[in-house]
Structure 1
Amino acid sequence: MTYEKVCTVADIPELGVIAVEVGETPVALVRRGDEVFALHDVCSHAEVRLSEGEVYDDTLECWLHGSCFDIRSGKPTGPPATKPVPVYSVKIDGDDVLVSLSKES
């Protein structure tokens, strides 16, 4: 897998979310304590930025219609979304956050 540095851990608010780009792919980074999760930054229901939503527990809630997604799996946990959003692999290297869009083979 190829990883790209996208930010530092300190750039992501604890229990918060920020938007980054990996190449031309929009990615929402969610921080839960020492862990960082990466999801495709487009809601599968309304095609708006998930990074503008709210984080609670292990859920990222879309700001527009309230669709909820599990930050670990990308699966919807609350309507109206019924399709998951892709999740991406994350590595922490010192203070740097690296994301890979590649699928493991």
Structure 2
Amino acid sequence: MTYVKVCPLADVPADGALAVEVGDTPVAIARSGEDLYALNDICSHAEVSLSEGEVYDGTIECWLHGSCFDLRTGKPTNPPATQPVATYKVKVEDGDVYVSLGSDD
């Protein structure tokens, strides 16, 4: 599994998200409490950036229509979104955030 360095951990806001790119893939790095998550940054309903939304209660909310996505699974927790967004493996080493898009990269 290949991990790509995407940003310093200090750049990810507390209980917020940061947009990064891994190759051509837009990724939202979200921090909820002490936990860090990586998921596709494009809302499955409206194709806008999820990283611009709010992070709370283990979810990220799309700013446009209010759909929330579970940070662990990418599944929507309320409408209008019905399709999940992809989630990715994330780790922190030496103060930097690394993301893997999957086992085939």
State how many pairs are aligned.
Answer: 104
- Residue identity in the other structure for 1:26: P
Match of residue 102 from structure 1: 102
Query: Which whole-Å CA distance do the structure 2 matches of 1:56 and 1:78 have between them?
Result: 14
Match of residue 40 from structure 1: 40
Match of residue 10 from structure 2: 10
Shift of 1:103: 3.5
Q: Please, what is the CA RMSD of the aligned residues? A: 1.1
- 1:54-88 per-residue CA deviation (whole Å, 9 max, x = no partner) reads 11110100000001100111000011001000000
Match of residue 19 from structure 1: 19
Q: Which structure 1 segments of 5+ residues have no match?
A: none
Match of residue 53 from structure 2: 53
Kept after mapping to 1: 8 A contact 2:9/2:97: yes
Match of residue 66 from structure 1: 66
Q: What TM-score does the superposition give when structure 2 sets the normalisation length? A: 0.95
**Identity of paired residues, percent?**
65
Q: What TM-score does the superposition give when structure 1 sets the normalisation length? A: 0.95
